[in-house]
Structure 1
Amino acid sequence: MKPPPRIKQTFRLSAELSRDLADYARRRRVAQGDVVQAALSSHLSPDGADRLEAALARRLDRMTRQIDRLERHIMISNETLALFVRFWLTAVPPLPDSAQAAAQAKGRERFEGFVETLGRRLAKGRSFADEIVQDVPATTSADPDEE
């Protein structure tokens, strides 16, 4: 089958766009006219806008799901920290002045162990939020404090 006839068109491009077109065509080893024709076909295609919109919608949906997961993980982290602080403040009695130095030394030792454990867990890719999701059964209640 014979290709459709080609009609010569004359138009002007900015110097920068002309250089970009020449560079692109040279890198791809195609004629500049073929690059212009492909670009115009894509731009003028009636379904081109629909394809672009569908691709953007898919990407936005994926980003929304990722943001929802991040929001959930942050909520779990914040709630965990708040519960721990409340428990710690209510369960740990104040120390007498004579025990402060020993408690601070023990605290530094425990904190170093905590940081090492955290580093190992992060290196393995294991997260506390994932463990929470696995360990806690799903509830039908919208408010976890109702139970």
Structure 2
Amino acid sequence: MVEKVRHQLFLPKPLSDSLEALAAKPGASKSAILADALRAWLDRRGTSELDERFGLRLDRMSKALGRIERDGDVILETLALFIRFELAIQTPLAENDHAGRALGAKRFEAFVAQVGRQVAAGRRTLGAEQDR
């Protein structure tokens, strides 16, 4: 059995009348109604405390993720437009143009190696600002 402590409360008349009306229903009591209301109020306050503690940090993280998503979208769109442009202006190599294909393969390998070096070093070609 739960130990109960007696409290003396002073309520405004309209609130007291509402409590009396609720307690008049079968199976209800003023103590149970007030205990439930107080428990709900304290639970909400605890939730509010969590919001205060972590809300600001979560908001900052959400904004940072939004910027990352935006940056990714810009990068992908830029890459797609560049590829479309390159494919539109470059003429295809003839099937027997081995020198042209070898030069293209060499340039592609150099490009991939440069991207690898930039990523490994943590450098960015566009937008030197890394901490926003």
- Is this contact kept in 1: 2:118–2:124, CA < 8 A? yes
Alignment of 1:4-15 (within 5 A): none
Identity %: 40
TM-score (norm 1): 0.49
- For these two proteins, the number of residue pairs brought into alignment is 89
Distance across 2 between alignment mates of 1:96 and 1:46: 73
Q: CA deviation at 1:129?
A: 4.7
Question: Gapped runs of 5+ residues in structure 1?
Answer: 1-43, 134-147
Q: Deviations over 1:103-143 (max 9, x none)?
A: 33222211221122112211232224525x8xxxxxxxxxx
Q: CA deviation at 1:45?
A: 9.9
Letter in 2 for 1:116: A
Distance across 2 between alignment mates of 1:92 and 1:60: 47
**Higher RCO structure (Cα 8 Å, ≥6 apart):** 1
Distance across 1 between alignment mates of 2:107 and 2:85: 18
Match for 2:108 among 106, 111, 119?
A: 111
Question: Gapped runs of 5+ residues in structure 2?
Answer: 1-41
Q: CA deviation at 1:65?
A: 1.3
CA RMSD of aligned residues (A): 2.7
Change in Cα spacing, 1:84 to 1:71, as seen in structure 2 (3 Å) is: same
TM-score (norm 2): 0.54
Q: Deviations over 1:89-108 (max 9, x none)?
A: 11101222221x32332222
